[in-house]
A and B are shown apart, each in its own frame.
Chain A
Amino acid sequence: MLKEEIVDKIIKYFKLTDFEAEELYDDIFASIIQGVTEDNIADITNLGEFIVKYSNGKNISSEYTQSYKKTVEFLPVSILEEAINEISFENFGTVESEEVLNQKPVETKEDSENAYIENEEIKEIHDSVSQTSVEDKLNVEDEMNKKREEILHKITTPKEDYKPIVNVPEAKVENTSEESVEELTQKSFSDYFKEINDEQKVTQENATKTTIIPKSESVIPPAAVELHKEITEDNGKNKAYQSGVSTSRITNGNGRGDDYEKRAGDNSYYIWYKDSEPNIADTQTMSYEYELLYQATKEAEYKSKLKIYVTTFILFFSIVLLLLIFSPVFYKVFFTPNGTDNMDQFQEESGSINEETSSENRASLNILKDEGQINNITTENNVTPPTTNGEQSRNQQPQQQVQPEQTKQEPPKQEEQTVQQLRNQTQTQQQRQTEQQAPATQPNNNTNLEGLVKNGLGWLDEKNKVVYIHLENGKYTIQESAWDSDAKASKRVEKLQSLIPGLKGTVVSVDLGPKGIWYRVRLGEFSTIEDARARAMELRKKG
């Protein structure tokens, strides 16, 4: 019975109970009946259509249908008709005799690749069922999974290396060989199929001989495979992607399994176009060209700036040379007010400038000026113009030379002086003359002192850089320095007094005429030059 067979299959393959299987079976046809009654048509794939028809009373075959107004007509599907009549496209070339046709239809296995996957699976199921009892224990799902794998194998493998699972019908080949010679000579429509069959056979034979693994080059470029390896970092895997597919574990019917991810990883093909690879030569040339362009631009910029650099350098160099060459002239012009050849003035100015700039004060002695141009004001603020210590030695010789000149210049400059100043001058001159003339009257210490040089003011001590002045009262005083301002001189006095307690300092102002008023710092009054010298020594030691 058909029902029993189908129910048994349902129980085996789908693990259902007898009751459930029978219910299923009955429900199928019940639902078909329901569909026909409701819609007047029921279309079932691979079977046909059940259509309601109003009976005319003519084509009624059965007796009970005569009483009904409506009947049901069945229109089978072409596939079913072909299956029944065995008139498929592939079998079109075979010529069957009447005896063969009258015989019961024999099961023949179709050789079409375009058959439904379901049909193949069903056939395989049937084949598996007809096998030994061991296979009955197999799970339906396992079988389904196997079939699914095979189908995937078909899909993944290219057609050249495809090894069909379905057995090749060899009977047809044999039948063709048994045909008569006439058929071979006269190319009938069936001969074409023979050729095709031969080709298929050849390809199959080649496939069996050669390995299933296809050439990766034809399918995937090697660069893509290598890139895929680098990405996945699986060097142990084979290059052939099919091997991974074929050796993968059985998966479920839904396609899930442990190897699903791996398969996805293996089968994740990268569309890699060879032209998209960066050509190394192109990159090198591009970089070299870029470098050339960069260098050229830099050179152009440098050349444009080079002129500027050269001109500026030349200008500065020329300026420096001019300054060096004409430096004394500039100095005279800018730093000497009158521009006279008086070295004393020059020295005084330099000394004054130096004292202005330097923190420490240096005394300047200008003995010749004192003689010629001194307008001693009998106040406590009489001062001598300062000069540097280094220039004192220079001052000596020119001062002596200038003395007579200054004396000549004195009378016209002394017009503005008071009578007391004139007297003082004469007195000082007389004192100096007496000092020069009668050095013997003076103590022997004055003339015989080493390191002392007599000048217009008094005795010049080069070592201590002071001048010992012989005062009117017969005592000696130390003239330490001369300043152009009273404040500076007084400050100097305070400083020196702080160094040596008990030492009295005075500031004497002197009008030197064109040079201005100078303030001379004088310290103490000593009976002898030796005492003054000793005190000067102390001063220099301390400060």
Chain B
Amino acid sequence: MNTVDLINKLAVNHDITTGRAEMIISILVERLTEKLKEDGKAKVENFGEFILQQEMCETDSYLKLGEIFSSQRNHIVFKPDKKFLDSVNSE
């Protein structure tokens, strides 16, 4: 499934234009990222939860100058909801 399919589906089901559907999805994604940044997690009912986890990586250095800096990356973990898993495993 792609975003295009999702947009078309929304437009058809809710009688809206594809532009609006696209905007809604973008709003959703944007808000979700902001929420993750703010709170570190974002929960969606009957879908799952997005959790932001920090990982302490090894120190890296710039290739040229040898300057050391600590590269700490955050990665997102998704925990699907029960209903989501039920639907996936139902087949």
Contact = CB atoms under 8 A, between A and B. Distances in A.
B37 A105 contact: yes
A27 interface: yes
Given A47-B32, A52-B88, A36 B73 contact: no
Contact of A70 (B6, B62, B83, B85): B85
Interface in A429-482: none
B44 A2 contact: yes
A464 to B, nearest CB: 126
A29 B6 contact: no
Given A2-B35, A47-B32, A32 B24 contact: no
Nearest to B1: A35
Contacts of A5: 31
Nearest to B78: A74
Contacts of A101: 54, 70, 72
A5 B74 CA distance: 25
A105 B38 contact: yes
Contacts of B90: 37
B24 to A, nearest CB: 6
Contacts of B74: 81, 84-85
A14 interface: yes
Given A41-B1, A70-B89, A188-B65, A29 B10 contact: no
A43 B79 contact: no
A70 B14 contact: no
Interface string B50-91: 101010000000101101011011111111101111011111
A105 B76 CA distance: 14
Contact of B6 (A14, A31, A105): A31
Contacts of A42: 1
B1 A84 contact: no
B6 A37 contact: no
Contacts of A14: 16, 20, 23-24
A104 interface: yes
A3 interface: yes
A170 interface: no
Interface string A1-36: 011011001100110000010011111111111111
Interface stretch (A60-68, A238-246, A387-395, A487-495): A60-68
Interface string A54-93: 0000000110110011111110100011011101000000
Given A44-B3, A85-B74, A33 B30 contact: no
A120 B13 CA distance: 28
A98 interface: yes
Contacts of B78: 50, 72-74
Contacts of B70: 98, 101
Given A6-B27, A107-B37, A74 B85 contact: no
B36 A84 contact: yes
Given A43-B2, A47-B29, A64-B85, A27 B77 contact: no
Contacts of A2: 31-32, 35, 42-44
A542 B46 CA distance: 145
A23 B88 CA distance: 22
B48 A38 contact: no
A44 B76 CA distance: 15
Given A37-B91, A105-B38, A64 B82 contact: yes
A118 interface: yes
Contacts of A331: none
A32 B91 CA distance: 16
A70 to B, nearest CB: 5
B63 to A, nearest CB: 9
B28 A6 contact: yes
A80 B33 contact: yes
Contacts of A36: 1, 84, 88
Contacts of B47: 29, 32-33
A455 to B, nearest CB: 135
A186 interface: yes
A346 B37 CA distance: 146
A295 interface: no
Given A32-B6, A46-B26, A84-B74, A74 B88 contact: no
14 contacts: A6-B28, A26-B46, A27-B13, A27-B14, A29-B44, A29-B47, A31-B6, A31-B9, A33-B87, A39-B1, A42-B1, A43-B1, A118-B23, A119-B26
Interface of A: 2-3, 5-6, 9-10, 13-14, 20, 23-39, 41-48, 50, 52, 61-62, 64-65, 68-74, 76, 80-81, 83-85, 87, 95, 98, 101, 104-105, 107, 118-119, 122-123, 125-126, 186, 188-189, 253
Given A2-B31, A29-B47, 8 more contacts: A6-B31, A41-B1, A43-B2, A44-B29, A68-B85, A122-B23, A188-B67, A189-B65
